[in-house]
């Protein structure tokens, strides 16, 4: 599929996730098969454009593939200015966040809260499209099915966003009220796809190759977007792409390969954040990588006490070396609910 002038290599995308889809993680997922990846959301507030958090999130040094940046805010002019600023920093696609359910975002009426004010939502879309068009930069939109069960307006907003110039829509099959609870539903995504001419991407609870196939069939969507299932399992993208292309399943990675993937990610993570912040923010990635593995719980508890990059790297290497003595390949992945249960202990 295309987004504006950009032809994407496949229809399996990495979803933007705050605090997770930074440049090292996007680069890793693209290398392991993701056809497209969107940055963490970047605030449109002008007073935060030069903050350390924003400059890190806007760092695309060495990033492969199409560079897509998600922006968040509530003021059309600020959002337009943020789009221009991020284009200057290397963005080739601008994505508008109307899907984040976090309270600190919604309390400012940003993210999925914008779905409650359709006029403001479309004013923002129009302002961002107007800012991006002269630069030849496509605008996309990520949203939920609606604010709550009683007010699912995704199809209405999708049609208005298309008319305002949005060139792709990603829809998470939950309302903001649901957060990440319960099961994603796909009927609303199918309704969005039926309402518009532009590409539609289905998101929510896609955690296996078979689920990706089933969601594409149920919704008619042009692509799928994977979020939480990629945490600690970035090779899910090549597994899904292979299955959609061939109908056959790939075996889980070799333990030796998983070790190299995790260690390589750590080095790129430290390079972006520095040692002090990098060691601490890497803990969640390592925790996700080992959560389903023998000895993973005990290792995670020990690792969370390490505050030195070299020691953290060595501990991870030792963990996988011991694991390799027990098995050649990683075990089959946990189901979504099992992963959710484990996440509560992280």
Catalytic residues: 100
Kindly calculate the radius of gyration of the chain based on its CA atoms and give it in whole angstroms. 20
Q: Buried b / exposed e across 158-180, counting CB within 10 Å, b at 16+?
A: bebbbebbbbbbbbbbbbbbbee
DSSP secondary-structure letter at 100? -
What stretches of 89-224 show up as alpha helix (H) in DSSP? 103-106, 118-132, 154-164, 187-195, 209-219
Determine the length of the chain.
346
CA-closest candidate to residue 234, choices 57, 20, 36, 34: 34
Q: What are the residues facing 346 on neighbouring strands?
A: none
H-helix or E-strand spanning residue 287 = helix 275-290
| Tokens 């695309």 sit on residue | 60
CA-closest candidate to residue 70, choices 48, 44, 97: 97
CA distance 43 to 155: 26
């Amino acid at each position: 599929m295309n987004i504006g002038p950009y032809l994407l290599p496949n229809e399996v995308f990495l979803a933007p996730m705050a605090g997770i889809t930074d440049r090292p993680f996007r680069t890793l997922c693209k290398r392991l098969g993701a056809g497209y990846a969107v940055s963490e959301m970047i605030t449109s507030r002008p007073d935060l454009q030069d903050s350390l958090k924003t400059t890190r999130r806007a760092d695309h040094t060495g990033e492969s593939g199409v560079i897509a940046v998600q922006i968040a805010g509530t003021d059309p002019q600020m959002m337009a200015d943020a789009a221009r600023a991020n284009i200057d920093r290397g963005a080739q696609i601008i994505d508008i966040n109307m899907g984040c359910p976090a309270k600190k975002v919604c309390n400012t009426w940003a993210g999925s809260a914008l779905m409650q004010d359709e006029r403001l939502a479309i004013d923002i879309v129009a302002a961002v499209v107007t800012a991006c068009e002269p630069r030849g930069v496509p605008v996309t939109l990520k949203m939920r099915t609606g604010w709550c069960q009683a007010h699912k307006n995704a199809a209405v907003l999708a049609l208005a966003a298309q008319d305002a110039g949005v060139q792709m829509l990603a829809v998470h099959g939950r309302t903001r009220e649901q957060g990440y609870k319960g099961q994603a539903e796909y009927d609303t995504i199918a309704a969005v796809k039926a309402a518009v001419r532009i590409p539609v991407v289905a998101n929510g609870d896609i955690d296996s190759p078979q689920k990706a196939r089933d969601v594409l069939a149920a919704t008619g969507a042009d692509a799928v977007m994977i979020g939480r299932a990629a945490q600690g399992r970035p090779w899910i993208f090549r597994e899904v792409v292979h299955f959609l292309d061939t109908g056959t399943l790939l075996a889980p990675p070799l333990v030796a390969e998983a070790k190299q993937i995790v260690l390589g990610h750590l080095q790129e993570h430290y390079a972006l954040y520095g040692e002090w912040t990098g060691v601490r923010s890497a803990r969640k990635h390592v925790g996700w990588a080992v959560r389903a593995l023998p000895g993973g719980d005990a290792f995670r508890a020990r690792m969370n006490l390490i505050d030195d990059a070299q020691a953290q790297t060595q501990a991870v290497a030792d963990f996988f070396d011991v694991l390799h003595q027990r098995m050649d390949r990683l075990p089959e992945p946990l189901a979504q609910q099992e992963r959710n249960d484990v996440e509560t202990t992280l």
